[in-house]
Amino acid sequence: MLLEPAVLLSSPLNSAFLGLALASALLAAGCDRQSGEQAQPGPAASAPAKSGELSGTIDRSHKGEPLPDVTVKDPAGRSLALKDLKGPVLINLWATWCAPCVTELPLLDKRAADRPLRVVTVSQDMEGGAKVADFLKGKGVTRLEPWLDPENDLAFRYGGGTLPTTVYYDSAGREVWRFVGGHDWSGPETAKMLAEGS
């Protein structure tokens, strides 16, 4: 007996499975990983910058949304409730295995020196905080803290899409824009983008 698609999706288990499969496919697709490459390479295996890695797009369709009610942790077990952050703040979702993420990390690290802007990077790696902290240290990143979201709560809050995704919140804690894909955070365009939240 052949079941209609509507019957297949009516099962809560089938719907959950379909949702997880779609979210996994979206995360993997956005990281510029080529077939045949290792999915979770170590720090030494990170690829050099490729043409187009820092050519993401800006999205203003979520303007005005509040900071997410998600709590992230660091390797020492300390918690950070994102909804309690004081803006302006950039929240960056990244992973060690994502080539554009790795390319933009040093640029975000330099941008983190700008005050009062706070840059919060949240790793989507599931292998633990020690790996993420060591990875950042190995890249010479000194200002970015190794916040973790191993359950991907934040990625799902932002639609479970492409990595990296960076969301900018103004001083009132309201979203101004999100940048999907890699970006040159040191470029002149960034200053104009950040001025939108003033």
Q: Where are the domains of the chain?
A: 55-195
Q: Where are the beta strands (DSSP E) in 31-123?
A: 57-59, 71-73, 79-81, 89-94, 118-123
What pLDDT, in 10s, does the model give residues 151-185? 889 999 998 779 999 999 999 999 999 999 999 99
**pLDDT at 31 (0 to 100):** 62
The highest-level CATH class for domain 55-195 is: alpha beta
The residues near 73 (Cβ < 8 Å, ≥ 6 apart) are 79, 80, 129, 147, 148
Give residue for tokens 């983190």. 112
**pLDDT at 176 (0 to 100):** 98
Residues of the chain with pLDDT under 50: 1-29, 32-49, 51
Say if CB 101 and CB 163 are below 8 A apart.
Answer: yes
Say how far apart CA 57 and CA 191 lie, in whole Å: 16
